[in-house]
Amino acid sequence: MTATLDDTPTSRALLAALPLESRAATWGEEVYFDTRLSPDLERDARQVVEPGTVAFWTEGDALALPYGPTPISRGDECRLAAPCNVLGRIDGDPRALATVRDGDPVRVTPAPR
């Protein structure tokens, strides 16, 4: 799966740390995983986002990839555990994340140039 990131302080920190490997965790219809990065919460952080948003959960040092409702959602919204830095969007259908299971290996690499 690929994503297009915006130019934000957190996305720049993430790109500088790549490649990274982790293990997936799921929370409702969200996949998240530890990055070992600890960026600050950005001014435009949001808790409710669109499916396919690439978000950074600063309280958990994790990338959060929602594709549908979480346990705290109201209706069918994507409500993250707390306000998160918005980094960009997943390319293609974010529902492909539904195949990810707790403990699956995750590898994040920069796009080839």
Confidence of residue 111 (pLDDT cuts 50, 70, 90): confident
With 80 as the cut, is the pLDDT of residue 113 above it? no
Residue 103: per-residue pLDDT: 98
Report the DSSP beta bridge partners of residue 98. none
User: Tens of pLDDT along 18-64?
Assistant: 999 999 999 999 999 999 999 999 999 999 999 999 999 999 999 99
CA distance 56 to 79: 13
What are the domain boundaries of the chain? 3-99
What does pLDDT average to over the chain? Answer: 97
Q: CB-hemisphere CA count at 13 Å for 60?
A: 17
Here the tokens at position 96 are 């492909």
Q: CB-hemisphere CA count at 13 Å for 50?
A: 8
What does CATH list as the number for 3-99? 2.40.100.20
pLDDT-above-70 percentage for the chain:
100
DSSP assigned state of 31: E
Q: For 5-12, what is the mean pLDDT?
A: 97
User: Tens of pLDDT along 36-48?
Assistant: 999 999 999 999 9
Which distant-in-sequence residues (6+ apart) come within 8 Å of 89 by Cβ? Answer: 3, 4, 50, 52, 53, 54
Residue 112: per-residue pLDDT: 81
